[in-house]
Structure 1
Amino acid sequence: MGVAMNPDFPLVKDLVLIGGGHTHALVLRKWGMKALAGVRVTVINPGPTAPYSGMLPGFVAGHYSRAELDIDLVKLARFAGARLVNGAVTGIDTAAKLITVPGRPPIAYDIVSVDVGITSVMPDLPGFTDHAIPAKPLGTFAGRWDAFRASTTKPRIAIIGGGVAGAELAMAMMHNLRARGLSPIAHLIDRGKIVDTLGDTARRKMLAALADQGVTLNEDASVARVTATAVVLDNGTEIASDFTTGAAGAKPHDWQADIGVDVQGGFITVNEMLQSSDPSLFAVGDCAHLSHAPRPKAGVYAVRQAPVLFDNLRAVLSGGELRPYDPQKDYLKLISLGGKSALAERMGTAFSGPLLWRWKDHIDRTFMRQFDELKPMGLPPLPLTRAVGLQEALGDKPMCGGCGAKVGRGALRAALQSLPPPDRDDVQLVPGDDAGLLTMGGARQVISTDHLRAFTDDPVTMTRIAVNHALGDIWAMGAAPQAATVNLILPKLSADLQARTLSEIMGAAHEALSDAGAAIVGGHTSLGAELTIGFTVTGLCDRDPVTLRGAKPGDALILTKPLGSGVIMAAEMAGAAPGGVVDSALDLMCQPQAIASSILANAHAMTDVTGFGLAGHLSGIGDASGTGALLELAQIPLMDGALTLAEAGQHSSLFKDNIAGSGPVTGPMGPRTDLIYDPQTAGGLLAAVGVDQADDLVHKLQDAGYTSAAIIGYVTDTPGITLR
Structure 2
Amino acid sequence: MMTPPPVQLTRDLVMIGGGHSHALVLRKWGMNPLPGVRLTLINPGPTAPYSGMLPGHIAGHYTRDELDIDLVKLARFAGARLIMAPAQAIDPKAKTITVKGRGEIGYDVAAIDIGIHAEMPGIDGFSAHAIGAKPLDIYASRWATFLEQAASGAAAPKVAVIGGGVAGSELALAMAFALKKRGVEPRVTVIEAGPEITARTKAAERHLRSAMKRWGVTALTNTRVKRISAEAVHLGDGQSVESHFTVGAAGAFAHGWLAECDLPMTEDGFVRVNECLQVLGHEDLFASGDCAHMGETPRPKAGVFAVRSAPVLAENLRAVLMGAPVRPFRPQQDYLKLISLGGKVALAEKWGKSLAGPLLWRWKDQIDQKFMNQFRDLPAMAPPPAPRDMALGAETAQVLCGGCGSKVGPGALSNALKAAPWIGRADVLTGPGDDAAVLQVGTARQVITTDHLRGFTEDFGLMARIATVHALGDVWSMGAKPQAALMSVTLPRMSATLQARTLAEIMHEAGAVLSGVGAEIVGGHTTMGSELVLGLTVTGLVEGEAITNAGARAGDALVLSRPIGAGTVLAAEMQGKARGADVRALLQEMARPQGDVADILQNAHAMTDVTGFGLAGHLWAICRASGVVAELDLEAVPVYAGALELAAAGVRSTVWQDNLDAAPVFGDSGARGALLHDPQTAGGLLAAVAAKEAETLVAALRAQGHDAAVIGHLVEGAPAVILS
Distance 1:42 1:637 in 2: 33
User: Which residue number corresponds to residue 240 of structure 2?
Assistant: 238
Post-superposition Cα deviations, 1:107-157, rounded to whole Å, max 9, x if no partner, equal 000111000000000111111111111100011111111111112223110
Select 1:224's aligned residue among 223, 226, 234.
226
**Contact 1:628-1:717 at 8 Å conserved across structures:** yes
Q: How does 1:221-370 map to 2 (within 5 A)?
A: 221-264=223-266, 265-277=268-280, 278-370=282-374
Q: Deviations over 1:1-31 (max 9, x none)?
A: xxxxx97011100000000000000000000
Query: Aligned partner of 1:317: which letter?
Result: L
SS at match of 1:106: strand
Structure 2 residues without counterparts, runs of 5 or longer: none
Q: 2:57 maps to which residue?
A: 59
Deviation (angstroms), 1:432 = 2.6
What is the DSSP-based 3-state SS (H/G/I as helix, E as strand, rest coil) of the residue aligned with 2:551?
A: coil
Correspondence for 2:214: 212
Match of 2:87, SS state, is coil
Shift of 1:93: 0.8
- Conserved? CA contact 1:87–1:101, under 8 Å: yes
Residue range with higher mean Cα deviation, 557-566 or 367-376: 367-376
TM-score (norm 2): 0.97
Q: What is aligned with 2:588?
A: 587
Amino acid corresponding to residue 232 of structure 2 in structure 1: A
Q: Does 1:655 align with 2:656?
A: yes
Note the C-alpha offset of 1:376: 5.5
Are the equivalent residues in 1 in contact too, given 2:417–2:432 (CA < 8 A)? no
Once residues 229 and 476 of structure 1 are traced to their aligned partners in structure 2, the CA distance between those partners, rounded to angstroms, is 52
- Tell me which of 68, 75, 78 is aligned to 2:76: 78
- What letter matches 1:679 in structure 2? P
Distance 1:193 1:46 in 2: 38
For residues 430 and 554 of structure 1, the distance between their equivalents in structure 2, rounded to whole angstroms, comes to: 27
Q: Tell me how far 1:379 sits from its aligned partner.
A: 5.4
Which sections of structure 1, spanning at least 5 residues, go unmatched? 1-5
Which one-letter code corresponds to 1:557 in the other structure?
L
Show the counterpart of 1:709: 708
Rounded Cα–Cα distance in structure 2 between residues aligned with 1:700 and 1:255: 39
Quick one: distance in 1 between partners of 2:375 and 2:444? 57
Q: 1:428-462 deviations in whole A, cap 9, x for unaligned?
A: 22453131011111000000000111101111110
Change (3 A) 1:598 1:495: same
Secondary structure in structure 2 of the residue aligned to 1:467: helix
Instruction: State the TM-score, normalizing by the size of structure 1.
Output: 0.97
- Give the AA of the match of 2:272: T
- Answer yes or no: is 1:451 the counterpart of 2:449: no
1:386 aligned onto 2:384: no
Mapped to 2, the partners of 1:507 and 1:249 lie a distance apart of 40
SS at 1:205's partner residue?
helix
Corresponding residue to 1:89 among 80, 87, 90: 87
Correspondences of 1:666-685 after superposition (within 5 Å) = 666-685=666-685
CA distance in 1, matches of 2:214, 2:49: 28
CA deviations 1:291-339 (Å, max 9, x no partner) are 1100001111000000000000000000111111000001100000000
Q: Does 1:134 align with 2:132?
A: yes
Structure 1 CA distance, aligned partners of 2:96 and 2:301? 28
**Residue 193 of structure 1, CA deviation:** 2.9
Partner of 1:373: 377
1: CA distance, partners of 2:157 / 2:380: 44
**How many Å separate the matches in 1 of 2:238 and 2:499?**
62
In the TM superposition, residue 169 of structure 1 has moved relative to its aligned partner by: 0.2
- Structure 2 counterpart of 1:300, one-letter code: V
Q: State the percentage of identical aligned residues.
A: 55
- Residues 347 and 354 of structure 2 are in contact (CA less than 8 Å); yes or no, is this contact kept in structure 1? yes
Amino acid across the alignment from 1:498: Q
Contact kept in structure 1, 2:668 and 2:674, CA below 8 Å: no
Displacement of 1:579 in angstroms is 0.2
Matches within 5 A, 1:4-15: 8-15=6-13
Count of aligned pairs: 714
| SS, match of residue 621 in structure 1 | helix
Q: 2:168 aligns with which of 162, 166, 169?
A: 166
| Structure 2 residue matching 1:255: 3-state secondary structure | helix
Could you list the per-position Cα deviations for residues 270-305 of structure 1 after superposition, in whole angstroms to 9, with x for gaps in the alignment? 111000111111000000001110000111100000
Q: Which moved more, 1:428-437 or 1:244-253?
A: 428-437
| CA distance in 1: counterparts of 2:306 and 2:448, whole angstroms | 54
1:465 Cα deviation (Å)?
A: 0.3
Partner of 1:145: 143
**Deviation at residue 208 of structure 1 after TM alignment:** 1.4
User: What displacement does 1:197 show?
Assistant: 3.2
Instruction: Please tell me the residue identity of whatever aligns with 2:132.
Output: P
CA distance in 1, matches of 2:26, 2:62: 25
Q: Say if 1:194 and 1:217, in contact at 8 Å, map to a contact too.
A: no
The offset of 1:362, in angstroms, is 0.3
Tell me the CA shift for residue 539 of structure 1: 0.1
SS at match of 1:139: helix
In structure 2, distance between residues paired with 1:120 and 1:197: 19
Q: Structure 1: which amino acid aligns with 2:240?
A: E
Q: Distance in 2 between matches of 1:379 and 1:191?
A: 58
Equivalent residues of 2:435, 2:608 under 8 A apart: no
8 Å contact 1:376–1:574 — kept in the other structure?
Answer: no
> What is residue 116 of structure 2 aligned with on the other side?
118
Q: Which residue matches 2:697?
A: 697
Query: Residue type matched to 1:350 in 2?
Result: S
Task: State the Cα distance separating 1:627 from its structure 2 match.
Answer: 1.1
TM-fit CA distance, 1:641:
0.9
CA RMSD of aligned residues (A): 1.2
Please report how far the alpha carbon of residue 711 of structure 1 lies from its aligned counterpart in structure 2 after TM superposition.
Answer: 0.2
Q: 8 Å contact 1:156–1:186 — kept in the other structure?
A: yes
CA deviation after TM superposition for structure 1 residue 490, in Å: 0.2
CA distance in 1 between partners of 2:661 and 2:380 (Å): 29
Mapped to 1, the partners of 2:24 and 2:458 lie a distance apart of: 21
Q: Deviations over 1:153-206 (max 9, x none)?
A: 231101111111000000000001101111111110111134333122212211
Q: In the alignment, what sits opposite 1:3?
A: none
TM-superposition CA deviations, 1:633-686 (whole Å, max 9, x none):
110000111101111111111110110111x42114110100000000000000
Q: What letter corresponds to residue 272 of structure 1 in structure 2?
A: E
